[in-house]
Amino acid sequence: MWLAHGSWPLSGLLGGLVILAPARWWIRAGYERERARTGVEKALAGVITGGEEWDGHTASMRGAPIKVKFRGDVTPAKIVGPLPPGWRETSMERDRAEIRGRLTHWGSPWTIVTDSSGRALCATLCEPLPTAVRLPQTRSWKWIDANKPSPLALYLGEAQDADLGETFPLWWDPDATDPHALIGGKTKSGKTVGLRLLVAQAIVRGWDVIIADPKGVDFVWAGRLPGVRYFPGKDCINGVVEAVAEMHARQDWLSRQLWSGKDGADEEGDLLKVQGQPYAPCLVIVDEAAELSGLGDGDQQKETQANLSSLARLSRFAGMVCAFATQRPDVKFLSGETKANLGTRVMYGSGGPTLTNMVLEMSLKELSKLTDTCRGRGRAVVTEGTAVEFQGGFISPSNVKALRGVLEPDGLTPVRYVEEPEWRSLLRAGTSTEEMSVDALKHPDYDRVAAEIDQSIEASEATFWSPAAGQAAAETHPLEGATPTLPPWDTPPTLDTPISRAEEPTFPSPIPADDVPPDTPSIDPMKYL
């Protein structure tokens, strides 16, 4: 205005526009922030703002008085508001989940903290989980070795506490939780990469590794690694037999140790804790476990399912940990008895209602929506009843091979109990892995079994969403056939030898059992209902 009065009308106009230019941004930012604040109030109406419990006029105009702090631009980062007069501590868990769901429009995850004495609630937008966790960039091998909670603990990735918003390393620790894991996920969800990370850690520590790979393509790179016995495609059933035979050999050594008569020898039933024992820990990877269970004729299927059940029930005290992975954990091929002994549950990707229930044994309604859909994101249950969101660690096959190098064709880790896989003889004959035909190595029944399980899951999905789902879920489905039994401890199982518990010796098992007097009366559980 001063420039305009000074006989410089054009200059004054331009100068005024320059001076007022920042105000345009301020006005715009203020409008956007007010719009975001109003949106938050509307989103929380009926939970902590607005609703019948507040003054009707205030609720209709602005809702309950809340304060919103913004992160840089117009993104709400912290929300503080009073608790409704009728709020109760007992409803907090339900309210936390509802508030998080209503605030996901502005990002996630949100940490919800209540002050009961001050009758206030604070919601804070936390830093999200990283979308990529790479080894050794994000976590070095030295860090993993120094921070693992036990000698057997295996790093899975980075997880986040839904209540506190804290990011922490996620471990699968067989010494502290269930010793074996069920890993699920659809194609390209990150499941195979997660298994690759487990193999890498086992290789670094000098463990034995047995891999059964029905597709015969996902773990070809691991076949020549030190300590690895790889059974792809046609030989995958032999891989399970090799793992069970390895377990029996270890159990036999432990039994002789327990009954050796040496001072204190009968006090330790865990192989890896026995001083001077000759075995390294053994990681058993069974990829596409449901499909593998359905390969071959009826007798082979029963034998494979019995062997998987034996591994899940008995291998831990022989110094072995198992990871059974599948896209389709169908109960027809992966029995409930086997799943019950795979206590650690990991699922990559969101999955559908059937896959979620089969792997995590939780309903989708119990779980918050994943904060991102990037590959490797998923949920894990490492303690009973608690599912956490995590980002799985990534390592490439070339990086795994660089850790300890690869073996020459004539120096591969020997197969001990079954016939050597076909690919080894081809490799020694000069055939490169690139020249080997995937279709030639793949089990001939694989496609049939995969299609059969897909149809079963589609039918299950249709049942899940049908009105009669509740009635269908209430029906009982008795197991068909005889209960799988154990082989003799001194005879490794083969493809031609059915497993029979009747031949099991009578000396005590190395696995401790509860001491129950023979005259103890049976307990009727119905009287407590």
- Extract the annotated binding site: 185-192
Two tokens at 99?
């508030």
Look up tokens 């005290």; give the residue.
317
How would you classify the pairing of strands 110-115 and 320-326? unpaired
Tokens of 126: 């936390």
**Encoding tokens for residue 32?**
């956007």
- Verify cis geometry, omega within 30 degrees of 0, for the bond prior to 109: yes
Q: Give Dmax over CA atoms of the chain in angstroms.
A: 114
H-state helical runs in 148-261: 191-204, 236-258
Secondary structure tally for the chain: helices H, strands E? 16, 15
Q: What secondary structure letter does DSSP report for 22? A: H
Q: Which of 522, 515, 489 is nearest to 245 (CA)?
A: 489
How far is 92 from 106, CA to CA, in rounded Å?
22
169: left (phi over 0), alpha (psi -120 to 50) or beta: beta
- CB atoms closer than 10 angstroms to residue 463: 14
228-232 long-range contacts (CB < 8 A, ≥24 apart) are: 228/199, 228/203, 228/413, 229/413, 229/415, 229/416, 230/421, 230/423, 231/421, 232/421, 232/423, 232/441
In terms of Cα–Cα distance, which of 319, 253, 247 is closest to 281? 319
Q: Map residue 250 onto helix, strand or coil.
A: helix
Q: List all residues 6 or more positions away from 163 whose beta carbon is below 8 Å from its beta carbon.
A: 96, 111, 112
Q: Are strands 208-213 and 133-134 parallel, antiparallel or unpaired?
A: unpaired
Q: How far apart are CA 479 and CA 481, in angstroms?
A: 7
DSSP assignments along 256-289, one per residue: HHHTS--TTGGG---GGGSTT-----EEEEETTH
Distance CA 390, CA 380 (A): 7
Contact predicate 65/81, CB 8 Å = yes
Annotated binding site for ATP: 185-192
Cβ-proximal residues to 51 (8 Å cutoff; 6+ apart), any chain = 45, 59, 84
> Are 94 and 47 within 8 A, CB to CB?
no
Measured distance CA(368)–CA(470) in Å, rounded: 23
Asked if residue 94 lies in contact with residue 58, where contact means CB atoms within 8 angstroms, the answer is no
Q: Which residues contact 440 (CB under 8 A, 6 or more apart)?
A: none
